[in-house]
Amino acid sequence: MIRTNNLRKLYTTEEVETTALNNINLEVKSGEFVAIMGPSGCGKSTLLNLLGLLDNPSDGEYFFIDQEVSKFSERQRANTRKANIGFVFQSFNLIDELTVYENVELPLFYLGVATGERKKRVGEVLEHMQIMHRKNHFPQQLSGGQQQRVAVARALVAKPKLILADEPTGNLDSAHGDEVMKMLTDLNETGTTIVMVTHSPSYAEFAHRIVHLFDGHVVTENFKEKVRI
């Protein structure tokens, strides 16, 4: 599903040029669960942004579902994202003015899905995430764990091939963090490919493989046996 060849990302100002990622070679197969680890500032979130087509690399190649996408325009990136990728963020990124139902429904609006199909899909995913009873609540009326359930539901409603999760447990206590990891594991076991950035060694153990970054480089990769809660 994902293959990068010598992927690089540079940030340039008038005074300095910073190399955020340098010659990243990474492959993620369909159905894998990959955790990305490393110290702050090592390039984890930059890599996730490139994999999620939120930005283009400065150099190198990126193949996503067998298509070279590294030079895509913003419009091309947006269309590919909407059709194939769901995002789960540490800060949830829910819209406070929208209800749970409306937050989850929003990606389907952007995809032009008909009203009846939107209602069906939102209902199914809210039931699956066990959050239907909160559908008319606003994000600020929910606990952190409930908000992350809504965020996962929003990521899933368009039935993406890939979920990118950036520190999805970072704002949660251990009980709610365990709950989110169980949700991601269950999704992966139904065939969804997941790439997750995390600082937590224990949560990284849920993945099939752990990729360690340091100073913009892949330094090690470890294959793991997944754990269950």
Mean pLDDT of 79-89: 91
Mean pLDDT of 165-180: 85
What pLDDT, on a 0 to 100 scale, did the predictor assign at position 224?
Answer: 63
Mean pLDDT of 206-229: 81
pLDDT band for 180, please (50, 70, 90 cuts).
Answer: confident
pLDDT band for 176, please (50, 70, 90 cuts).
Answer: confident
> Per residue in 9-47, pLDDT tens?
999 887 888 899 999 999 999 999 999 999 988 999 999
Mean pLDDT, the chain, rounded, equals: 91
pLDDT band for 91, please (50, 70, 90 cuts).
Answer: confident
Residues 6+ apart with CB under 8 A from 73: none
What does pTM read for this prediction? 0.87
What pLDDT, on a 0 to 100 scale, did the predictor assign at position 229?
Answer: 47
Half-sphere exposure for 168 (CA within 13 Å, toward CB): 34
What tokens appear for 153 in the block?
């539901």
> Per residue in 107-122, pLDDT tens?
999 889 999 999 999 9
Pairing status of strand 67-68 against strand 217-223: unpaired
Kindly list the distances between the CA atom of residue 52 and the CA atoms of 44, 80, 122, 197, 224, in Å, as whole numbers in the listed order.
12, 9, 23, 12, 24
Mean pLDDT of 180-208: 92
Angle at 88 between CA 185 and CA 26, to 5 degrees: 75
227 pLDDT above the threshold of 80: no
What pLDDT, on a 0 to 100 scale, did the predictor assign at position 225?
Answer: 56
CA distance linking residue 146 with residue 130, whole number of Å:
9
Half-sphere exposure for 137 (CA within 13 Å, toward CB): 13
Q: Are 37 and 211 in contact (CB under 8 A)?
A: yes
The DSSP-derived string for the chain is -EEEEEEEEEEE-SS-EEEEEEEEEEEE-TT-EEEEE--TTSSHHHHHHHHTTSS--SEEEEEETTEE-TT--HHHHHHHHHHHEEEEETT----TTS-HHHHHHHHHHHTT--HHHHHHHHHHHHHHTT-GGGTTS-GGGS-HHHHHHHHHHHHHTT--SEEEEESTTTTS-HHHHHHHHHHHHHHHHTT-EEEEE-S-HHHHTTSSEEEEEETTEEEEEEE------
> Per residue in 150-170, pLDDT tens?
998 998 898 899 999 998 888
202 pLDDT above the threshold of 50: yes
Question: pLDDT > 70: what percent of the chain?
Answer: 97
